[in-house]
Copies of this chain bind each other. A is one copy, B any other.
């Protein structure tokens, strides 16, 4: 569990144990554990750290004015999160499962960004990637039906996991529903339907076997 990839810097943002690499620089951090459902930081709290997921999974969430929950993003091992320019967080973060995170003081990164153009560039790339994801998400929420959203979600998870065939979902149906802006029941029905169509198999509700990637891709496109 401890020997997570000591791979070399693959892109502008990569990983080292107990540190976060941004562009050419590796920032020393502290490793912390969070229990399932524990809050990592809260909305409108000051932004003091940037985080990297070592193990487990994290969700970032917002609430509408009338109290409905919207999951902004899921963060899996290797992902950075919590980086914001403003003084206060625009959303909160919670551990989906027990997890290990690396925390780096924001001031370290801010300072480096005012000294190194490569760091500044890497941060811009990071924000730009998040922007792309957010727009993709808006497109999915606006233009796709329930089945298409779930299919797209599974495909994107498969892509991130690098295991095209078998997926362990760290999150509950409720989390998926709040990410895709659906209800638990509708998400559940979408899974059942995909199973009936032989696109996936569900040995357990949290374990997905992709039987036919093309069927999923077709569903997603619908």
Contact = CB atoms under 8 A, between A and B. Distances in A.
Q: Which 4 A-B pairs have the closest CB atoms?
A: A142-B181, A134-B134, A120-B120, A138-B138
Contact of A64 (B84, B125, B143): B143
A26 interface: no
Given A124-B127, A138-B137, A144 B64 contact: yes
A70 B142 CA distance: 8
Nearest to A127: B127
Interface in A28-64: 62, 64
A113 interface: yes
A66 interface: yes
Contacts of A65: 220-221
Contacts of A142: 70, 141, 180-181
A169 interface: no
Nearest to A116: B117
A118 to B, nearest CB: 9
Given A64-B143, A121-B120, A124-B123, A135 B134 contact: yes
Q: Which of A62, A72, A141 has the most CB atoms of chain B within a 10 A radius of its CB?
A: A141
A141 B144 contact: no
A124 B70 contact: no
Given A139-B62, A142-B141, A221-B65, A90 B132 contact: yes
A85 interface: yes
Contact of A131 (B64, B70, B117, B134): B134
A128 interface: yes
